[in-house]
Amino acid sequence: MATKSGFTTDVGNGGETHQHAPPSGAATSDGHLTTNQGIKVSDNQNQLKSGERGPVLLEDFVLREKIFHFDHERIPERIVHARGTAAHGFFELYESLADITKADLFQRAGERTPLFTRFSTVAGGAGSVDTPRDVRGFAVKFYTQEGNWDLVGNNIPVFFIQDAIKFPDLVHSVKMEADRGFPQAASAHDTFWDFISLMPESTHMIMWAMSDRTIPRSLRTMEGFGVHTFRLVNAAGKSTFVKFHWKPKQGVASTCWDEAVKIAGADPDFHRRDLFEAIGRGDFPEWELGIQAFDQAFADSMPFDVLDPTKLIPEEVLPVRLIGRMVLDRYPDNFFAETEQVAFCPANVVPGVDFTNDPLLQGRLFSYLDTQKSRLGTANFHQIPINAPKCPVMNFQRDGQMQMTVPKGRANYEPNSLSAQGESGGPRECPAHGFTTFPSADAPTEQGDKLRLRPASFADHYSQARMFYRSLDVAEQSHVAFALVFELSKVDAPAIRTRMLGNLINVDEDLAARVAGGLNMPLPAANAAAAPVLDMELSPALKLVRGKRDLHTLKGRAVGILVADGSDPATVQDLHAAVTEAGGRPLIVAPKIGGVTLSDGKMLAVDKQLAGFPSVMVDAIAVVLSDDGCASLINDGAAVQFVMDAFGHLKCIAADDGAQPLLMKAGVTPDEGVVAPNKGFVKAAGKRYWDREPGVRKLPRAQS
C-alpha cells in the first residue's frame, strides 16, 4: 500500500515491513534529479571548479558519485574500449627536448624507451567486431626510467563533451539501449542521437565520427592524438603547452562504408589479425610522435579556448614538430595477461609532463584509477607484469588483495625515526627530482568563487565543425552526408532528426540540405547558437582523400590475385614478384584451397579460397584467367562479387584478356584504375579511384 511519504510497504514472511524508495539517482516525484543519497542536484552539466577556468575541486561529491557509479557498472569487462588489441615496441627520440621538458625519455637523442600500445573500439563489447563506425582508442604506456607515462588518447583529436561530468551520459546514450540490449557496437539509434542533438558541443566530434576516420582500413593506417592540452615543464620550471600527435608512417587509409560492413561479415577480427600478421612477418608498424608546443601568448591569440577538448589547433596555424618514432615489433605472448589486463591511466605522468585545467582531463585523472581497481579486482593491479614499471618502486603501501611483493621491516609509515636506530626506515620523498606540480595558482583565472558553469570561451560549438567539414575533399564530404543519412534513418523519433538538422545548418547549409534530402524531410530553421559561428581558415591537413597523408603505395598492403585452372604462369609470377618488390603482400586466390593447375601443367599453391575470401580483405586485385578458366567462374557468384566489390570500393583492378568477360559481368567499366597485369599495376594499385564513386553508388546531393 502507499504511505504518505510515497514509499510502498510489503509484509514479508516473517511479518517485517520493508520500505522501497524510488530508484537511486532517478527523478523524484517532483521531477528533480538527486544523488543516490536523495540530495537534489542543482547542476548536472558542469563540474565544480575554482574560478570559471580553474581546476576541478575534489569536494564535488555529485561528480565523484556519478563517475564512481559509472566506473563500477561493468565487471570485469571494460565499460568502453572493451574490444581491443595491442603490441609491444619501443619509442626512439629524434632530438633532445631538454629546452622544454625535464622528462627523462626526452633528454637523449637516439635513446629507446620500451612501450606497450593498445588500440580499441569504444562502443562495442569484447565480443563485437573490429570494423564498425566508431572512434578508436590509441593508448601508449611508456616504461621510462622515471616511472610509467600513459598517453591515453584516440584516433580523433577532439572529443564529444567538454566536461567529464557528462561522460556517463555520453556512454549510456551510445551503448546498447537499456531496455532491449541492442544495438551492439553501433551508434545508429535513438538514444545516442537524442543526446547528441541536445548537446551542441558534440557537433565538431560528430563531423569526425561521421567521416572516414571512424572506419579505418587498418590500425596501422590511422592517426593518434592525446586530445587534451598538456604541459611540458623544463628543469628551470618553465611551462610549455603541448598537444600530442601520432602520425603513421604507413600513411592514413580508410574503407568505404559498404566495405567496412562486408569486412565485418567476412572477418570480425580483421584489424586484430592484420596487426598480428604484420608483426609476425616483420612488417613492423611505425608512427612518428609529433607535438604542437606553444606558450600562453599563443593560446590567448586563438579564437577558441585551448583547454576546450572539443577544439583542435590546425596544423597550418601551428605545425606539428616530429620528435621521435614508435615501432611495434612484438605481439603479446598471452592476450589475457597483457592486452586484457593492461591498465592505462591519464594520471600516470613523469616529472616534466603535467596537466592543464581541461575539465574533461581533470575528471579522467581520478576516474581511470577507480575503474582499474574495480575491473582488475585489487588495489595492487600495478603489480601485474604488463602494468609494472621497469624502474624501482618504493613506498609504504602494504597488503591488499593479490599482494605480490614481500616488504621487509616494521615501518610502513612516514615519517619514522627507525633508521636512526639502525633499522631500515624505508624510502623518503625527493624534493630535488620528484614530481612537482607546475605552480600556476597565480593565474587570475584559477582564483575565484566555487562555481558550476562553462566559461564563455567554451561557448562556440560550430566554428571548428564547419572548418573540419569544409576542409575535407568533396568525396569525404559526400561520405559524411551519407553517414548522417544512414545513422539518422535508423532514428525512430522525427523530433530528434529535426533537431539534428537544425544543428547541421550551423555547420554547413549544403550539408544540412543533403542530409534533409536523404531523409526526405523539410529543412528546419537553424538551432540557436551560443556564440557567433566563425568562418575559420580551412585546414587541408585534415583531409584523408587526396591529402598529404593519402600515400599511394603498396607497402604493407595486400593484393588478391584471382586465378583458376589454365591461368598463365608467367603473368602470375611477374605480378607476384612486382607486388612483393613494392613491399606489398600478394595472395593467390582460387576456387579451391588445394591449388590450381596452370597452363604449363604445374600446380600452383593457393593462399585463400575464393568463397571465403572476398575482395574487401585486400587493397587491390588482379584477375589472371584463361578462356576456360573464366568460363568456369563467370557463373560463380563469389567470383563475380569479388570483382564487383573491388570496382565498387574504388580499388585498382588488373585483368588479362581472358578475364574480360568476368569483368563485364561484374559491371566493371574502363577507367584509369582498370589496368593490364604488368609492372604498371603496382603504381596504379597503391591508391583508390575516388572519381569513380559517383558512378558506382548514390550519395546524398544538395537540394537545389
| Matching residue, cell 557463373 | 635
Q: Check whether residue 471 and residue 568 sit in a common domain.
A: no
Pairing relation of β-strands 230-233 and 239-248?
Answer: antiparallel
Q: How far apart are CA 649 and CA 605, in angstroms?
A: 28
For position 443, what pLDDT does the model report?
54
In a domain, 178, yes or no: yes
For position 75, what pLDDT does the model report?
52
Q: Check whether residue 33 and residue 65 sit in a common domain.
A: no
**DSSP 8-state secondary structure symbol assigned to residue 620:** E
Q: How far apart are CA 628 and CA 132, in angstroms?
A: 40
Q: Check whether residue 376 and residue 495 sit in a common domain.
A: no
In a domain, 186, yes or no: yes
Per-residue pLDDT, averaged over 534-562, amounts to 94
- On the question of pLDDT at 44 being above 90, the answer is no
For position 144, what pLDDT does the model report?
94
Q: Check whether residue 536 and residue 606 sit in a common domain.
A: no
For the segment 498-516, what is each residue's pLDDT rounded down to a tens digit?
A: 999 999 999 999 999 999 9
Residue among 112, 85, 89, 323 nearest 218 (CA): 85
Q: How far apart are CA 184 and CA 126, in angstroms?
A: 11
Q: Check whether residue 525 and residue 569 sit in a common domain.
A: no
Q: What are phi and psi of 395, to 5 degrees?
A: -160, -170
- On the question of pLDDT at 255 being above 90, the answer is yes
In a domain, 397, yes or no: no
Q: Which of 364, 383, 402 is the last residue of a domain?
A: 383
Pairing relation of β-strands 147-154 and 136-144?
Answer: antiparallel
Q: Which amino acid is at 643?
A: V
Q: Which of 333, 357, 383 is the last residue of a domain?
A: 383
For position 423, what pLDDT does the model report?
76
Give the model's confidence band at 445: pLDDT under 50 very low, under 70 low, under 90 confident, else very high: low
Q: Going by C-beta distance under 8 Å and a sequence separation of 6 or more, which residues neighbour residue 363?
A: 47, 56, 63, 67, 163, 164, 165, 167
Q: Check whether residue 477 and residue 375 sit in a common domain.
A: no
In a domain, 623, yes or no: yes
In a domain, 356, yes or no: yes
- On the question of pLDDT at 43 being above 70, the answer is yes
For position 20, what pLDDT does the model report?
39
Give the model's confidence band at 24: pLDDT under 50 very low, under 70 low, under 90 confident, else very high: very low
Q: Can you give the CATH number for the domain in which 514 is found? A: 1.20.1370.20
- On the question of pLDDT at 27 being above 50, the answer is no
- On the question of pLDDT at 612 being above 70, the answer is yes
For position 5, what pLDDT does the model report?
35
CA atoms within 13 A on the CB side of 125: 10
For position 474, what pLDDT does the model report?
95
Q: Strands, E, within 166-238: which ranges?
A: 224-225, 230-233
Q: Can you give the CATH number for the domain in which 121 is found? A: 2.40.180.10
For position 69, what pLDDT does the model report?
76
Q: Which of 542, 574, 601 is the last residue of a domain?
A: 542
Buried b (16+ CB within 10 A) or exposed e, 324-355: bbbbbeebbeeeeebbbbbbbbbebbbbbbbb
> Considering the chain, what is the average pLDDT of its residues?
91
Residue among 18, 539, 472 nearest 208 (CA): 472
Q: Check whether residue 367 and residue 222 sit in a common domain.
A: yes
In a domain, 247, yes or no: yes
- 216 cis-preceded (ω within 30 degrees of 0): no
Q: Are 293 and 232 in contact (CB under 8 A)?
A: yes
Give the model's confidence band at 1: pLDDT under 50 very low, under 70 low, under 90 confident, else very high: very low
Per-residue pLDDT, averaged over 236-252, amounts to 97
Q: Check whether residue 37 and residue 85 sit in a common domain.
A: no
Which residue segment(s) compose the domain that 489 sits in? 461-542
Whole-number CA gyration radius for the chain: 28
Give the model's confidence band at 14: pLDDT under 50 very low, under 70 low, under 90 confident, else very high: very low
For position 25, what pLDDT does the model report?
44
**Least confident among 75-84, 130-139, 350-359, 610-619:** 75-84
Percent of the chain topping pLDDT 90:
75
- On the question of pLDDT at 26 being above 70, the answer is no
Q: How many CB atoms lie within 10 A of CB 543?
A: 19
Q: Check whether residue 81 and residue 215 sit in a common domain.
A: yes
- On the question of pLDDT at 636 being above 70, the answer is yes
Per-residue pLDDT, averaged over 472-492, amounts to 97
- On the question of pLDDT at 675 being above 70, the answer is yes
Q: How many domains does the chain have?
A: 4
For the segment 46-103, what is each residue's pLDDT rounded down to a tens digit?
A: 998 898 888 998 888 888 888 877 876 765 788 899 999 999 999 999 999 999 999 9
In a domain, 437, yes or no: no
In a domain, 136, yes or no: yes
Active site residues: 81, 154
Q: Check whether residue 535 and residue 563 sit in a common domain.
A: no
How far, rounded to the nearest angstrom, does the alpha carbon of residue 233 sit from its chain's CA centroid? 28
How long, in residues, is the chain?
Answer: 704
Q: Check whether residue 594 and residue 506 sit in a common domain.
A: no
Q: How many CB atoms lie within 10 A of CB 178?
A: 8
Q: How far apart are CA 32 and CA 180, in angstroms?
A: 26
Give the model's confidence band at 703: pLDDT under 50 very low, under 70 low, under 90 confident, else very high: low
What torsion do the CA atoms of 362, 367, 369, 370 make, to the nearest 10 degrees?
150
Pairing relation of β-strands 286-294 and 239-248?
Answer: antiparallel
Q: How far apart are CA 410 and CA 408, in angstroms?
A: 7
Q: Check whether residue 536 and residue 565 sit in a common domain.
A: no
